[in-house]
Each structure stands twice: as C-alpha cells, then as structure tokens.
Amino acid sequence: MAQSTAKPDGGANAMNGAQFKLGELAELIDGTVLGDSSVTITGVSSVDSASEGHITYVAEPEVLPRGEQSPAAALIVPPELANSSRKPLVITEDPRLAFSKALALFAPRRRLAPGVHPTAIIGANVQLGEQVAIGAHAFVGDNVLIGDRVAIHPLAYVGHEVTIGDDTEIHPQTYIGDRVVIGNRCIIHPGAVIGADGFGYLQTDQGHHKIPQIGSVIIEDDVEVGANSTIDRATVSATRIGKGTKIDDQCHIAHNCVIGEHCLLCGQVGIAGSAKLGNGVILGGQVGVNDHITIHDGIVIGAGSGVFGTLTKPGVYSGMPARPHHEDMRTLAAAHRLPRLIKRVKELEKRLDELEGRKEE
Amino acid sequence: MAQSTAKPDGGANAMNGAQFKLGELAELIDGTVLGDSSVTITGVSSVDSASEGHITYVAEPEVLPRGEQSPAAALIVPPELANSSRKPLVITEDPRLAFSKALALFAPRRRLAPGVHPTAIIGANVQLGEQVAIGAHAFVGDNVLIGDRVAIHPLAYVGHEVTIGDDTEIHPQTYIGDRVVIGNRCIIHPGAVIGADGFGYLQTDQGHHKIPQIGSVIIEDDVEVGANSTIDRATVSATRIGKGTKIDDQCHIAHNCVIGEHCLLCGQVGIAGSAKLGNGVILGGQVGVNDHITIHDGIVIGAGSGVFGTLTKPGVYSGMPARPHHEDMRTLAAAHRLPRLIKRVKELEKRLDELEGRKEE
Amino acid sequence: MAQSTAKPDGGANAMNGAQFKLGELAELIDGTVLGDSSVTITGVSSVDSASEGHITYVAEPEVLPRGEQSPAAALIVPPELANSSRKPLVITEDPRLAFSKALALFAPRRRLAPGVHPTAIIGANVQLGEQVAIGAHAFVGDNVLIGDRVAIHPLAYVGHEVTIGDDTEIHPQTYIGDRVVIGNRCIIHPGAVIGADGFGYLQTDQGHHKIPQIGSVIIEDDVEVGANSTIDRATVSATRIGKGTKIDDQCHIAHNCVIGEHCLLCGQVGIAGSAKLGNGVILGGQVGVNDHITIHDGIVIGAGSGVFGTLTKPGVYSGMPARPHHEDMRTLAAAHRLPRLIKRVKELEKRLDELEGRKEE
C-alpha cells in the first residue's frame, strides 16, 4: 500500500455489470435506433469521458464532433442530428432525458438488503412494511411506522412516533426527530437533520427564554433532502415540505416554514422562520429568505440573493435585497459606472462655475 | 402501506396527554382567569391551528377576532384585551411568555431514560453523575466527567477528557472532541461538531503546512448549539462561547473566537478565526464576520451582512461591508436611483454643451 | 457536580506530558538557542496565555514586550529580535513555522489504537493495511481497500468499494460513499459527507426527474475536508479535489467540480456544479462560485463574494458579482458617496435652470 491510491479514475464510472444490445436499450430509454442495433452497450459516460462499449449523448450540433471522435459505441441524439453521424445512434426528442434513463440502467446501485441488522436498535411497537431494510447500528424509536421497501441505512437515527412512507431511503447518519412524518419515495441524504428544535426565544431580564418547540415536520411524497441540510420542527403545528420539492446540501429551513410543491432549493439556501414558498419556486445557491415573508408560485431567485420582503409577481429576482433581475442588473451596471460618474459631475460643476463666473463678469 | 403516509397533520401537535383545569393552568403560567376557571385544557396551539380543548394566545387587538372564532377553549391575553372576549381568558402582562410556559406543560418531551444502554461504549475512568442517560451506540471516551441528569443520546460521540455539566443534553450524532468543556443546562443539537481542528496553515514551498490545533472549546452554561453547527478548537488556549448564548443551525465558529454572553447567532452565520463578540450581540441569518475583529456589546447585524472591521458603536448595522443600518439603507435607496441619475447627468452635459456653445457664438 | 464545570481554562492547553531541554527542542524545530539551553520546556502557548515552563513565539518587535513580561520560559524569535531579550531564545528565520513544530511536539494527540473494535462492522473482502485502527460502531462496506496506519474513528461510515490511502484519518460520523477514492495523508473531519448524490434533475411535466448520479469522488493526497462539509459525487466520471487542497468546515462542493492542487477554501464556501478551480486558488469565507465556470491558478477571492463568470487574470477579486478587488473597492467607496452625489446633481440642475432662464431673458 505504499503507492498513492488516488489514481486518476479509480472508482469512477463503475457500472453495474449490465449489458444491452443497442436495440434493446433504445426501447428502454424510449428512442429509435439508426444504424447497427446489435452493438453491445456496457456502460454510459459523458461525451468527454466515454469509454469503448459505452453510450453517451449529444444534444447540440457543436458537440457532435467530440461525440464522433470519442471511443463511445453509440450516441443518443435529437432528430436534427440524425443524419450527421457514422456511429450507431439512438434518436429521441429529449436526449438528456434518455441519457438519464440510460444512467439508471447502468447505475451501480446497491440497495441495502431487506432485513433488520442484528446490531440495529428497534423500539417497542414498531410496524415494518414489506422488504424493509434496516442497517447496522441504526436506531429506530418506539411507535414508528415504516412503509414497504424502506431502507434505513447504517448509523441513521429515527426517533419515536415517526412515520415513513413506502420506498423512502434514509441514508447513514441522518437524524429524524420524534413525530416527524416522511412521505413515499423520499430520499434523505447523509447527515441531514429533520426535526431539531426551532430557534425560538423570548427576551427576558434573565436572558433568552427558550420557547418549547412541540410541533413537527411533514415531508410530503417525492422529496429529496440534501446532505447535512437541516429542517427544524415547528413551535406548534408543522414545518412542511411540499411534494416533489428537491433540497440540495446544507440548506437550512427554519421552524414553521411552509415550502410548496416541486420547488428547487440549491446548496446552502437559508430560509428563516415562518416563511412561505409557493409551488415551483427556484432558489439559487446561498439564497437567504427573511422570516414571515412569502415567495409566490414559480418565482426564481438568483444565487447569492437575499429576499427581504414578500414577492408576488412572477419572474426572476436577484440582488441583496432581491429585486426584479433586470432592475438589479441595471443598477449593478450603473454602479460600475459610478466612479466615472462622480468625475463627470465634478467636471460639470467646474464648467458651470466657470460659466456662471463668466456670466457675472 | 400503499396510501401516502404524509397526511396533512400527521405527527404535528401531539400533546403529552396532560390536562389541566383552566384555573390550575393559569397559576402555572402566572396569569389570572377571567371567566370559567373549570374548563378543561388538553393542549396548546397557535391561534390559526387551535383545536377544541386547547388554549392559545392573542397579543394584539387585530388578532382577537381570529381567537374568538377559533375552536380554542380559552385564550391568553394581555390586560387591555380582557374586556373584549366571550371565551374564558388567562390575563397576563406577557402573553407570549405565558404561552411559552403553556407549551412546556404540554410538550411531548421524551427524556432518554436514565441508565447506560448496553451497546454504548464507555471509556476508562469515566465519572457519571446521578440519573445520567447514555443512549444506544453512543461513544464516550476515557477520563470523561459527566454531571447529573445529563442525556447523551444514541450515536453521539464524546471524546476523551471531555467535561459536561449538569442537565446538559447531547443529541444524536453530535461530535464532542477531546478535552472540550460544556457547562450546565446546555443543549447540543443533532449533528453539531464541537472541537474539530481549527483551519490553520502556514504557506510553505511544499504547500500548506498544518498548524497543530492543540487548544480546546469551552461552552459556558445555558448555551444552545444548533444542528450541524461547527465550533472549532483553538490553536492553543480555547475557543469560547459565553453563557446564555444561543446558536442556530449550521453556524460556523472558527478557532480562537470568543463569543460573549447572551448572544443570538441566527442560521448559517459564519465567524472567522480569532474574532470576538461582546455580550448581547445579535447576528442575523447568513451573516459573515471577518477574522481578528471585534463586535462590541449589544450590536445587532442584519441578515446577510458581512462585517469586515471592528464595530464599537452600539446600534444596528447592515450591508456588505456592514455599516450603520440607516446609512446602508440610504445608499441602497440611492443606488436604485442610479440608472436615472446617469441619465440626468447626461442631460446636464448636453444642456451645458449647448449653453457653452451658444455662449461661444 | 453541583458547581459549574465550565471553568475558565478547563481542558484547554492540555499538553501531552512531553518535556524537552531547550537545546533539544531547538534542534527539533530547526532553530538555534541563545541563552540557557538547559531550561526545561513542558508546553507551548500563545504569547498572551503563556504558562511557566512553556515556550511561545514573538514574530514582531511590538509584541516582544508582552513576550518578555509573560511567564514563558523561552521565546521563539527571528534573528532581528535576538539581541533584545533577557529570556532564553530559539532563533529561527520563520518563528511561526517553528512554533507550529513545537505545537506538534506537545500536541495531546491520541491516536486510535490499531486494531478493529469488536463492535465495528467490516464487510466482505476488505483489505486492511498495517496498523489500521477501526473504532467502535464504525461501518466499513464490502470490497474496501484501506492503506497502512489509517484510522477510521468510531461511528464513521465507509461505503462499498471505497479506497483509502496510507496515513489517512477518517473522523467520527463522516460519510464516505460507495466507490469514493481518498488518497494518502488526508484528514476527513467529523460530519463531512463525501459522495452523496449530486443535485441533478430534468424538468418534466411530472416534476423534477432525478438524474442518477453514478460517478464518484476522488480526493488526492494531503487533502483536509472540514467538519460537516459536503462533496457530491459526479453524474458520471468524478468530482475531484487536487492534492494538498485544504477545505474548511461547512463547505459545499457540488457534483462534477474539479478543484486544483494546494487550494484553500475557507468556511461555508459553496461551489456549484461542474465549476473548475485551478491550482493555488484561495476562496474566503462564504464565497459562492457559479456552476460551469473556471477560476484560474492562484486567484484569490475575498470573503462573501460571488463569482458568476470565469476568471482568468491573476489577482484578488471581491464583490457580488466578484470583480478585481481595487475596482470593487472603488465602486464601493463611490456608492457611499451616492446620496451626496444625488444632491449635487440636483443642485447642478437648479443652477443650470437658472442660467438657462437668465439667458432666455
């Protein structure tokens, strides 16, 4: 073990060993073959890292030459690129979606085997669905209800009175606090903390008096919560994440927030207490949202922005504080001209002084 | 388990089963009953989520109608609202504080039962106080001193030579590094990391040379550290958090920092190395504080701000870099008028050109 | 245990019990003694916290008086301060580096004892190097390759097909996902998550369609990853951290990023997907980097900045969006003069109105 183990491509692009004839694969990813449908496909790669036997995708004409020159065995392309290649093709309206399906076919997914590991701690009155997997050193409290095909990975903590829907995956070292409800087909990534106390105090002469946080957190179906993200429990009632919403790593959602359906929260977003997001809201990385405000359906906030007041009008916003993006851009552009502007004003003052002086002569 | 388990209010507002006559409750929360003191109270809710049998609070006149129309069995109100209700009332100078006390009475708190779980790892020469609880798969190192009624939850890691005061709660999956000292009545939330190495390097020709971080972290009494927050150990001596200070989730406090007493650090605050905060400092969400600077007693920094230099004068600051809040607001307002200002200057130049031209005729 | 355990210096500055004659110590830290080389040194402190028997360092003349007046037994100083002290000295060109070496000599380092703890879970076909330590309740998956003298601390999770180089330390409660490759002499701090899924979705009529993330993460030699930081696995291929790069706490590196060698990423930095950093790049605290952009070799970004476009020219950048630091400073200074400038323009307009009026008379 003396030599470095960090070899250039060690570990990456490991496939699951599956292989398909191109025709078979095309059917599985909803495309049509042009060329030799008997080619064997053993994996999937990006266009610049393609290996022999792999399939990759090309969505734009200017990328096609790189696809052609790669060792890939076949390309996924849109209809408009169908005539321009000498490699076997899979033609589809949405090459990215087809590629994503191909990724799933070759994913080296390793599901935790169903069953309860002998070192897992399972509380009293726990109901397990079918084919549930609970990993080594995991902790599950009392009165927990776990749906079918749920995987609770090693070292995860699931508190008391928790409910977890079918097909949900709870990754290692996550914390699911007492009484939290998680829907079906959710993925809770490693280190996420769901249901810690909200940050609520009353200022008194004796210092900050802790307000008990006795509410809960409800995560609806098809939600992902990123690694090391935190979603605090409500003071009363519940902090809620709407169905289909995807939350990236290290996001913080404070107590009493209500996040709508199908939102996207990029990395390190922070949402203060009792804020509300409508459906389909997109927050760029490191966005901050003030407490008790609302961001309405479909609004998009650019990375690094701070939302200090309720936003109702659809559109893209940015800046600190966030304003309509085109206004923010205009102000920003103007700000960069400021040092020059100050000179111009000084110059004007001089000229005017002179003019007035001359006039007074 | 086929149907969704994410039912609208599943898990939320679970009470501990306690119930009180209103008169009895009023005494416990330091209020006076007006109306029927024999009403039975079975829980506590916010005004908009109140259930039958619950008590809620109304602090402002405009909220009173919602309280009246709710199914709540009784309301906590200030003296000035005492005459305007038909529900049984608890009258008190500070309805929020009384409500907070009511929350505590009904909190479905589940203390880890005293005792050491058989799967917990306990090092050599560990001193346990009375009624200490150590949960499943927790790790406690050698020479650790643990006070009375301390709870170390499942999967927590407590390093060697650690000291923990009475009544402190160490939540699941926290990391308490070697030699860290934690006071009485502290709460360390899940995933918090206290005592990892500070980020210190010397630049050399061979790259970044790690400076050993051999100091520690001292957390004084009544401190809360939020979920997934990190407080790094000092190079020498100790990073210190003053008594009564409350730290929200995902805050980062770098090595050698000294945080005063009764401060509030909101979510995702970052404090760079060797910075000092006085007492009663409040930092809004996502605030950044530069290394080696000081923020004096009682200063408040608005959310999203960056503090780049020492602040001594009391008051509210905001912006990037942080300046007195009213100045920052004025500059911000002015910036939004900038595109228009540039036009005005252009116009002035044109008029002056003309004027000068005319003069030269 | 009734009294507070948060005593002023409890736990801090604990030394490892080693002691050296000053002459012996000087040799170990590459310095030369001036004065009594037989003095016994029992520890190391900062100049303001020095105890009797300890050695500290003074790099600047103005700090020397504090060193002189401290109870320290000896001082590490540069040659130019050699004549001005009455204490025994260790003279060296780089006192900070020598001090860092002294710290290492006294560090109360407690290596996990080699051997596999009986409660650790070790998968099938795991290859362990010499003197490997695996702590209590740690999890190691199948087909893992672990180098010599590696320490995997209690409660760490190491997935399947992971490779870890020699002398690397994996701290408690870290998550190392399947197929991740970690080099030699790396330190992965508590709570770090390496190899969670990247945040990749396709927008469809049915909501966000998850793109499987089947790539990996490669961490080269001599890298540190801070507490609760997250490094996501690539969609295909690998997210990569170059050798010698140091990453502070709570940093987020998204999927497909390529970070160069010997970079420094300060606390709470966020780097969006597919971004590239050259070698020797330094990012201040809370910096955000946009997706798919490149920051070239040696560029420095000030704390709190947002990098929205590729930066190629060497230098220091700051602001939101980041621009050359001197331009950003100039704009900032100008912005603070804006409210005044608006008044000046108004004044100009008035004067010009008057002038034009007079002319038209």
Q: Taking the CA of residue B284 as centre, how many other CA atoms within 13 Å lie in the half-sphere pointing to its CB? A: 22
- Domain C20-106 superfamily per CATH: MurE/MurF, N-terminal domain (3.40.1390.10)
The pLDDT tens digits for A231-277 are 999 998 899 999 999 999 999 999 999 999 999 999 999 999 999 99
B245 and chain C in contact, CB less than 8 A:
no
pLDDT of res. C76: 95
| pTM (2 d.p.) | 0.92
pLDDT of res. B14: 65
- The CA distance from A131 to C258, in Å, is 39
**Successive 10-residue mean pLDDT values, chain C, 361 residues:** 38 71 95 95 89 92 92 94 87 92 84 94 97 98 96 98 97 97 98 97 92 94 98 95 98 98 98 98 98 98 98 97 96 90 90 77 46
Contact indicator for B264, A233 with CB cutoff of 8 Å? no
Q: Do A215 and B13 touch (CB under 8 A)?
A: yes
Q: Does the domain at residues A115-324 carry the CATH identifier 2.160.10.10?
A: yes
The pLDDT tens digits for C324-354 are 999 999 999 999 888 889 999 899 989 888 8
Residues in chain A: 361
Sheet of A294-295: strand order equals A127-128, A145-146, A163-164, A181-182, A216-219, A238-241, A258-259, A276-277, A294-295
Q: Do A14 and C161 touch (CB under 8 A)?
A: yes
When pLDDT is cut at 50, 70 and 90, the band that residue A86 belongs to is: confident
Q: Do A249 and C215 touch (CB under 8 A)?
A: no
- The CA distance from A15 to C13, in Å, is 50
Contact indicator for B168, C4 with CB cutoff of 8 Å? no
The pLDDT tens digits for A295-312 are 999 999 999 999 999 999
pLDDT (average), residues A188-197: 98
Catalytic positions of C, written as ranges: 255
Contact indicator for B264, B277 with CB cutoff of 8 Å? no
DSSP one-letter string for C324-348 = EHHHHHHHHHHHHTHHHHHHHHHHH
Q: Which residues contact C205 (CB under 8 A, 6 or more apart)?
A: none
Q: Which of B:155-214 have CB within 8 Å of C? A: 155, 157, 160-166, 173, 175, 177-184, 191, 193, 196-197, 199, 201-202, 204, 207-212, 214
Distance from the first to the final alpha carbon of chain A: 92
- What residues of C are in contact with residue B178 (Cβ under 8 Å)? 108, 110
Sign of the C-alpha dihedral, residues A146, A255, B263, C191? Answer: positive
- What residues of A are in contact with residue C164 (Cβ under 8 Å)? 5
> Which secondary-structure segment (H or E) carries A356?
helix A338-360
**Residue among A286, A265, B239, B228 nearest C286 (CA):** A286
Chains that touch A (3 or more CB pairs under 8 A): B, C
Ranges of chain B with pLDDT below 50: 1-12, 361
The pLDDT tens digits for A116-171 are 999 999 999 999 999 999 999 999 999 999 999 999 999 999 999 999 999 999 99
Residues in chain B: 361
- What residues of B are in contact with residue C190 (Cβ under 8 Å)? 157, 175, 177, 193, 196
Q: Whose structure tokens read 């020095």?
A: C50
Q: Do C270 and A262 touch (CB under 8 A)?
A: no
The fraction of chain C above a pLDDT of 90, given in percent, is 81
Domain boundaries defined on chain C: 20-106, 115-324, 334-361
Residue A332 tokens read as 């920003």
pLDDT of res. B51: 87
Q: Do A191 and C228 touch (CB under 8 A)?
A: yes
- The CA distance from B327 to B304, in Å, is 16
Residue C130 tokens read as 């010499």
Chains that touch B (3 or more CB pairs under 8 A): A, C
